[in-house]
Every structure is written in C-alpha cells, then in structure tokens.
Structure 1
Amino acid sequence: MKNTQRGNRLFALLFCLILGTNSLQAQFGFSLPQGEESVEIPYQNFNNLIVLEVTLKNKVTVNLILDTSIEHTILTEKAVGDFLNFRYARKVKLGQSDDQIFYGHVAIDAQMSLSDSVKTAEMSSILVLETDYLNLAGVAGSKVHGLIGYDIFKSFVVEVDQGKSVIRLHKPESFQPTKGYQEFPMQVVERKPFITTEIVFESWEKRKMNFMIKTGASHAVFFEDDSVEYFLPYRNLEVPIGQAFGGEVLGHIGRLRSLNIGNYSLESPLATFAKPEHVDQNESTKKYGDGSIGQGVLQRFSVIYDFHHSKVYLKKNSTFSDSFEYDMSGMNISVKQAKEYSFTVKSIRKDSPAQKSGLQVGDIIESINGEKLTINNYGQYLNLFLTREGKKVILLIRRGDEKIECSYRLARFI
C-alpha cells in the first residue's frame, strides 16, 4: 500500500501552545532500569503518526503522539487529570479568539511510565488542556489523548524502527548506531531539532533550507517562510492546513521537484505553503527554520534522534520510493466527542468529488460503504481517501431530520 500524507492539522494551534508553555517547571525525564543500556517499546501507527501508550501515576494509560517539536507533554483530556487528582500548580492562558479565552493547567505530580521499568520521577510536570482544543482524534484518526516529546528525547537517544513499529531507547553515553545508517548534523534550537535539506522547486531552482523535524505532524514538507510568494507550484489546491483558536487556517498544497537529504532524494513530494498572515514570526526560531518536515517524509526511513550530540541518523526503508498522495475525496471532517464520537463535514473543496456528490457543510456522516463510522475505523477511511483513486465511496449522512445517501469516486487532484 502506498504511503500517504495529510495536511498539517497541528501547525497554528501547537505554535500557540508552545509559546504558552515555556514557563513549565524543569523535569528530570525518564530513566532506564539500572544496568540496562537500551529498551524496546512498541508503538501504534495512527494515520502515519507514532503513538505511544503512556501510563500516568501507575493508574491510567493514555495514547500520546510522539512529537520531536513538543517541549512539554500535553494531555488533552482534563477528565483524566481530575480522576488522577493531579496537583495543578497554576493556570496558563494559551490563546484567545474574540471573547473566548483558552486555558491549560500545569500539573506537577504527573508521573509517566512507558513500560513497567521506564518511568519519570513522581514530581513531573505536564500541561493539561481545559478543553480539547487540538482535536487530535481528527488528526490521528483514532483515540489519542495528547502529545509527548522532549521528555523522552532529553533522556535517551531515540531510534524509530518504522518496519517493526517499535522505538528503542538508548543511553546516550553508550550509544553506537548500527550499520546502514547515514549520519547528519542536527541543530537543536530551544529544544527543537532542525535539519538542512536541498529543495528543488517546480521552477528547478535549488535552495538549501533548514527544516524543523516534526514527528507529530503528518505532512511531508511545510513552508513557513516567504516561499508561497515565489515558489508556489502552478498546480495547487487551497486547503485547510491547521487549526487556530479562531478557527480553521487555509493555505496551499502542491508538489516540489524533489527534496534531498544528503544522498537521499525523494521525488515529487507534496509541500504545504502557509499564507503570509500565518507565517511563524517567533524570531528566536525563525532565523533557524524555513518550515518543517513531518511524517510524510520521516516514515520512509528508520530514524535515530540524538539530541545529546546534535545528530540524526537515517536509513531508508521499503516505503522510501512510494508516491506521495493527498486526500482524493475533497471534504474535511470535524471529529467531536460527547458520549460517542460524531463526524461532521467541516469544509468541502470546490469541484471535488465530495462537492459534486451533493454533500454539504454540516452534514453528519453515519456510515461509509455500509459500515457505521466510529472512532475505531475512522483511520482506515482516512487512508482510503488518500490511496484508492477511482474507488467508489457511499456515504449515509444525516442532515437535520433527513437521512441522505451520497456517492462519488475518489479522484487525484495533485
């Protein structure tokens, strides 16, 4: 099956969260059992994202997306924190939209465990969102409860084995990479990793560019500089690229000629271009980065992240040459959780199969191809929309008091 990509759904909101969490208390991080040099931890692959099972206070296990660009662990389910009687040290303002203010709470006793033996200290801090602003279930296509990043990367050299769906955590002082990996320098700026690449644009112009490595985003390449004004491909789509406190953020998606990292060359990768009004203006990291690369690229490698020595190691895997694909349906779905998850058409791309079928914004999707849509199978349909050009899709939707059947065939636009 071809590897796939979705647009970056975390961009704008996570940037706000990172700005709002710089004042969290320092943490000691995870540790290996005494005498162990490394340990292997399985992970789940949700919509090409790396999802770890993390146990909080030895009581509740949650699914957290592993994100190299997240400085502090984020829990989106405040009900979990309340159940565990977290000690909230303070309330943090994360952002504002009109008169609505968005808050998080800093918990200081959130011990975390990746296994029976890989744990943090009891007094460890995480950010607990007052409300699930991130809608990570919609991003991952399955149940997820937050993100985890630097708490792991500051503790270990982290090896991500995409073929076996495991991460290996190594003691930094004794780690030696196995044969087959290529070593690259990695800048770590404000605890976030950057790598230098060569981009070949549609015009054949080549540029050396620095990209933040974001394992918590499923895009391939995301430009946050002025590239949209000069290098936007002729064939492109205006699409939702993120979620801010004020609502959906639009940008453009198209194809590059290639993305080159050392001797590795990825042909015709999809690239997302932010509009100038949404470009990251944080000066401390702006001078280092032109954007980010996500799992659309990273999933094609086994990767070793060594924050301690500012190195990243890459070894291509069996999916390296698979084509990059974008959504062939043309609708953006909002996933909401009450007693059960619901799936509502949030936006529809002009001239897409979804629009031509008669779908409307606000329609609630009840089933796809005769199967009731649930959070447990939502991810497989995200994958279907990305990979099966020509496949017929039959939706049963609820519009007010009516139930209506809409059908169309998936079509590639980019």
Structure 2
Amino acid sequence: MPLRHFLTLCFVLASPLLFAQQVEVEEFKFPAHKTSVKIPFKLVHNLVVIPVNINNSKPLNFVVDTGVETSLLTEIGRDDSIILNNVRPLSLRGLGKGESIQAMNSSGNRIHFSGIEAKGQQMLVLMENIFSLSTRLGVEIHGIIGYTLFKSFVVEIDYKHKILTLYKPGTYPDKRLKKASRLPLTIENAKPYVDAQITTADGVKHPLRLVIDSGLSTTMLLYLPSIPVMKVPQPNIDAYLGRGLNGEIHGRIGRVESLQLGTFTLRRPPASFPDSISIQHALNLKNRNGNLGADILQRFKVVFDYQNSQMFLTQNSKYNDPFFFNLSGLEIITPIPGLNYFTVSDVLPNSAGHKAGLQRGDALLSIEGVNCATKTLEQILYTFQSKPGRKIKLEIRRDAATIKTTMYLNDVI
C-alpha cells in the first residue's frame, strides 16, 4: 500500500484528542534495575539495522544513523500498520539536486525496543519512498533513528560481533577502553563532528572536519569546494553516489593515499566527491568538509559518548582489509523486498559488469551455477566484492532470453 494512502487511513483511526493533546517529551529509559542493554543487529551494506516499535506497531527495521537528528519513517510495508499522533505537514531539504520534499511531522509518539522506551517522541514521515531502502538493501527497512538514541546513552557498536550495547551514562566499564583510542567529538545541531586528515598522492595533507555518518555505507563523502587547493584524485570515475533528501547525488570517486583518524592511519581509501549542485544546501552550512561513513566505522568497535563529547575506537579484524571499490561495477537491487529476486539497476562504464555485457534491468538467475533464489543480497554482494581478478560465471535473463556470461572482477580506481 502506498505510504500516502496508508497515512490517510491512520489519520482517520487516530483519536482527535491525540492531535490536540500536548505530550511531554521524555528521554529514553532503561527497564528497572538495568544499566545496559544489548541489541543484536543486522549489518546490511555496512549499515546497522535494529528492530524498533512505534506506539503499538510490530517491530519495524530502523537504520541507526548518527547523521540524523529526528527519527524518520521512510516506508511502510504492505502488511504493516502504525498509528502516529499529532501530525502536521512540512517540507524538508537535504543533499540532492531536486526540490524540497513533502513530509509529515508527528509528535507525542512512544518509541520502544528491547525494554527501552521513550514517550513524546517526534517522528518525520516521508510522503514518498525516496530512498527505496528496502529495495537497495535487500531487507525490509521502515525508517531511520539517530540522535534521539545517541543523546540518551553511551552507545557501543561492535561491528564484528553485530551487537549494539546501550549504557546508562557513567556506567560504561573503563576496562573495555584499555585498547581504545579516544577522539574528541563536537556535537552541533544534533550531529557528531570529528577532526581527521587525508593525504593525497602529491603528499599534501588536508585537515578535515567531518560529520560521523553511520548511515553512509561508503567511506567518505568530501565537499571539494570546502577544501582549499584540493582536486579530485587521479584516476577517478563518474558515479552515482546515492540518494539524499532532495534527489540523486552524482559526482566522482577517487582514492586518497591515507586517512588519519586519531592514532589510526587507513591506507588508500576511496573518497566520493559529489558535484556542487548535489551539495549546495550542505555547503551553505560552512561548518564541515564532508561525511565519514560506515565503511570506515565497521573496521572498529566504536563507542559514542555524546554527553562527554568523545568517542573511542578499537580496531577489529577488518581494520587492515583493503578498500575495494565496487569490483563488479554493478548496482544490484531486490525489486520485491523479501523475495530473493535480484536485478541490475546500474552498470558503471568500463567496469567488470559492463565488459561482461550486463545491462540495466537484467535479472540474475545463477552465480557459479548456484541458483540466485537461494542467496541473499548480502551474499551476492560479498561474492561480487571478493577480490580483483576473480572469474565469476553468470546466468542472467534479459526480456525473454537467458544469457550466460563471465565477469572478471576489477577495481576501476
């Protein structure tokens, strides 16, 4: 059911008294006698996904995003139901080339998960499913939660073991920080900022101020006009970088020689450089040089302590893994989330997928002789990102024809 139709239904069902009632905003609270709660999460495209209940809804899948101030309800599944309180329209702006988008602001809601709850919570509801998160991530995604979570707790994200642990402020065990590196944070407008430094191939060091953005699945998004004398590294490629609130984000991708983050040095990570039109609203802020994403964060155990303006990093087994950029050159989606049916939504020019003859709209039937219906999107992406030079036999369907081809994975940057 389209989101706009579903919301109309909910507004009819919601009590008129709820719209007029002023509900006091509460902080998230632990169950009695608890100082911490562990939440297993799904790690999809480097993104942390946890179950969240809104009012009396069933558990909904929310991406944990440090870059988001107000919780977002991005899409509602065909079989889902939710009642939202105190609703009014508004317009939103963000990254992307398009115009502002229409949304609804809902207040006075109860958000609860794993025994933790808060009342009087604000929720923004997008009137169009602009992100298509379920289609792109291969699992049903309903929304995004951010600052409301991080401001209430010390938050530990263990990417290796896929456990998110929330601690009551002041109760985080010091012994868990013995091997950690501390980085100062600045919290401005509900967003965490960290100082970092990149070094380019010419040896020039560029200090950066970055938003820590756990909802960005890649490494870095850098705003070139805000970084003096820097140019897009060579070689680089044109690429679709993702989707912001106001439309698609396009730009170029190239490697920097290193990223210095506290005491850690990460070698040759790719960086995305959105074009000036895509970031015009972000540039008006003049307080940052870009975003630090989850392909960096997932190489650590990360502890966020907003109340004391600090974060702690402990490297995990992924720390020294090389940064490969889209070795297949394919963007794969699931047109029907929950159904193991995969199609190609984009093909990078001169990439492995392009050279193998794949086209937008092709459906994947088998990989190395294994039926794709037995695979998840994450498994397919893992295969396509395994190592440069790997030979992969594919069977695809294009219109009514079945085509066999061979793809040789290649890093185009």
Which TM-score band (shorter chain)?
0.7 to 0.9
Stretches of structure 1 that go unaligned for 5 or more consecutive residues are 1-24
User: Deviations for 1:238-295, whole angstroms, at most 9, x for unmatched residues?
Assistant: 11102257764321112111111222111111111112222343467x3321001111
1:357 is aligned to 2:336: no
Aligned to 1:44: 42
Q: Distance in 2 between matches of 1:339 and 1:46?
A: 14
The answer to which of 389-398 and 185-194 deviates more is 389-398
Please report how far the alpha carbon of residue 338 of structure 1 lies from its aligned counterpart in structure 2 after TM superposition. Answer: 7.7
Q: Distance in 2 between matches of 1:229 and 1:137?
A: 39
1:239 is aligned to 2:236: no
Identical pairs, percent: 29
Aligned to 2:327: 328
Please report how far the alpha carbon of residue 186 of structure 1 lies from its aligned counterpart in structure 2 after TM superposition. Answer: 0.4
Aligned to 2:83: 85
Aligned pairs, how many?
387
The answer to which of 354-363 and 215-224 deviates more is 354-363
Please report how far the alpha carbon of residue 370 of structure 1 lies from its aligned counterpart in structure 2 after TM superposition. Answer: 4.0
- Give the direction of change, closer, same or farther, for the CA distance of 1:153–1:387 in structure 2 (3 Å limit): same
Query: Contact 1:335 / 1:342 at 8 angstroms: preserved in 2?
Result: yes
Where in structure 1 do 4 or more consecutive aligned residues deviate above 6 Å? 95-101
Aligned to 2:191: 192
Aligned to 1:393: 392
Match of 1:128 among 125, 133, 141: 125
Aligned to 2:11: none
Aligned to 2:180: 181
Please report how far the alpha carbon of residue 337 of structure 1 lies from its aligned counterpart in structure 2 after TM superposition. Answer: 3.3
Please report how far the alpha carbon of residue 33 of structure 1 lies from its aligned counterpart in structure 2 after TM superposition. Answer: 1.9
- Give the direction of change, closer, same or farther, for the CA distance of 1:388–1:159 in structure 2 (3 Å limit): same
Q: Distance in 2 between matches of 1:98 and 1:275?
A: 10
The answer to which of 339-348 and 263-272 deviates more is 339-348
Matches within 5 A, 1:161-240: 161-175=158-172, 177=174, 178=176, 179-226=178-225, 227=227, 230-240=230-240
Stretches of structure 2 that go unaligned for 5 or more consecutive residues are 1-22
Aligned to 2:9: none
Query: Contact 1:334 / 1:344 at 8 angstroms: preserved in 2?
Result: yes
In structure 1, give the amino acid aligned to 2:127: E
Aligned to 2:113: 114
3-state SS in 1 of match to 2:317: coil
- Give the direction of change, closer, same or farther, for the CA distance of 1:176–1:340 in structure 2 (3 Å limit): closer
Please report how far the alpha carbon of residue 114 of structure 1 lies from its aligned counterpart in structure 2 after TM superposition. Answer: 2.1
Query: Contact 1:345 / 1:363 at 8 angstroms: preserved in 2?
Result: yes
1:304 is aligned to 2:325: no
Please report how far the alpha carbon of residue 363 of structure 1 lies from its aligned counterpart in structure 2 after TM superposition. Answer: 2.6
Please report how far the alpha carbon of residue 214 of structure 1 lies from its aligned counterpart in structure 2 after TM superposition. Answer: 0.6
Q: Distance in 1 between matches of 2:98 and 2:293?
A: 33
User: Deviations for 1:206-261, whole angstroms, at most 9, x for unmatched residues?
Assistant: 12211110111111121023259733111122111022577643211121111112
3-state SS in 1 of match to 2:203: coil
3-state SS in 1 of match to 2:378: helix
3-state SS in 1 of match to 2:385: helix
Query: Contact 1:365 / 1:397 at 8 angstroms: preserved in 2?
Result: yes
3-state SS in 2 of match to 1:125: strand
Q: Distance in 1 between matches of 2:84 and 2:46?
A: 31
In structure 2, give the amino acid aligned to 1:273: F
In structure 1, give the amino acid aligned to 2:44: F
Aligned to 1:54: 52
RMSD of Structure 2 on Structure 1 (CA): 3.0
Aligned to 1:158: 155
3-state SS in 2 of match to 1:345: strand
Please report how far the alpha carbon of residue 86 of structure 1 lies from its aligned counterpart in structure 2 after TM superposition. Answer: 2.7
Matches within 5 A, 1:257-336: 257-282=257-282, 286-336=285-335
3-state SS in 2 of match to 1:251: strand
Query: Contact 2:232 / 2:254 at 8 angstroms: preserved in 1?
Result: yes
Q: Distance in 2 between matches of 1:77 and 1:374?
A: 25
Please report how far the alpha carbon of residue 188 of structure 1 lies from its aligned counterpart in structure 2 after TM superposition. Answer: 0.8
Please report how far the alpha carbon of residue 79 of structure 1 lies from its aligned counterpart in structure 2 after TM superposition. Answer: 4.8
1:406 is aligned to 2:405: yes
The answer to which of 84-93 and 303-312 deviates more is 84-93
Query: Contact 1:88 / 1:105 at 8 angstroms: preserved in 2?
Result: no
TM-score by length of 1: 0.83
Q: Distance in 2 between matches of 1:339 and 1:314?
A: 34
The answer to which of 286-295 and 89-98 deviates more is 89-98
> Which structure would you say has the larger RCO, counting Cα contacts within 8 Å and 6 or more residues apart?
1
Please report how far the alpha carbon of residue 80 of structure 1 lies from its aligned counterpart in structure 2 after TM superposition. Answer: 7.2
Please report how far the alpha carbon of residue 365 of structure 1 lies from its aligned counterpart in structure 2 after TM superposition. Answer: 3.4
